[in-house]
Amino acid sequence: MNKEQNKIVAMFDIIAKRYDISNRVLSMGIDKSWRNKAVRKTYKLYDKDNINHIVDVACGTGDLMIYWQKIANNLNIKLHKITGIDPSSKMIDIAKQKIKDANFTKAFAQNLPIENNTVDIVSIAYGIRNVVNRAEAFSEFYRVLKVEGLLTILEFTKDEKKFWFSSIKKFYMTNIMPLVGKIVSGNSEAYKYLPDSIKQFVTSKQLQGELEKAGFKIVFVQDYSFDMNTTIIAKKV
């Protein structure tokens, strides 16, 4: 893996212990709603009451995995296995403390230790932006999914259009987020990286184009909170 990718992983190792509380403070808890809606929509689109395997890539401290499990239970969906994959061992250590009945593997999105055509749902929340080679990752997601399996992405995408909230959002992410991030996590560099990575990232439409190039069919797109968060669900066809 290249130096840039390893540098990103090292940064997440450093902030792992304060990652959850930092997210709650910086998003004002709204990220919980985004995760909840994405999981519920995915289950509705997949429309099965028996799911063999969900893989959460860049699982971090396991937040999205908890939603997959909890909402499956609420909807009377039998979820047999859930696997969290992340290149940060420190993040995985915390996830293991939060989720006892799950599998965890240290690996990169571009090289998943999963057999072909065996996964019902692949998810990645706020992690694809940190993958240096997205084309390789999308190829891996496609490989491990069953035909008709779903890929669910939650991400901060770059603004496609300018509107009145854009300047407020830019000010918050450029000035407030690094400051609050430093206070809460003790690491200002990590929370300077976040807005910088969003500015350098692609738009929602560009991300959809990359998925289609990888063979996926886009089945759902929704922007939330003044386009601050985008949920994309794509199907392996």
pLDDT tens, position by position, 89-138 = 999 999 999 998 999 999 999 999 999 999 999 999 989 998 999 999 99
Burial class (CB in 10 A: 0-12, 13-18, 19+), 137: buried
- Domain map (residue ranges) of the chain: 3-160+202-236
Instruction: Considering only residues 22 and 210, tell me which one the structure prediction assigns the higher pLDDT.
Output: 210
Written as one string, the DSSP assignment of 86-148 is: ES-HHHHHHHHHH-SSSEEEE--TTS----TT-EEEEEEES-GGG-S-HHHHHHHHHHHEEEE
pLDDT digits (tens, 9 = 90+) for 18-43: 677 666 665 666 888 999 999 999 99
One-letter-per-residue 3-state SS of 2-71: CHHHHHHHHHHHHHHHHHHHHHHHHHCCHHHHHHHHHHHHHHHHHCCCEEEEEEEECCCCCHHHHHHHHH
pLDDT tops 80 at residue 208: yes
pTM of this prediction? 0.88
The CATH code of domain 3-160+202-236 reads 3.40.50.150
- Please report, for residues 50, 138, 157, 219, 220, the alpha-carbon distance to residue 212 in angstroms, rounded to integers and kept in the order given: 27, 10, 17, 11, 13
Residue 93 CA to residue 61 CA, distance in Å, equals: 8
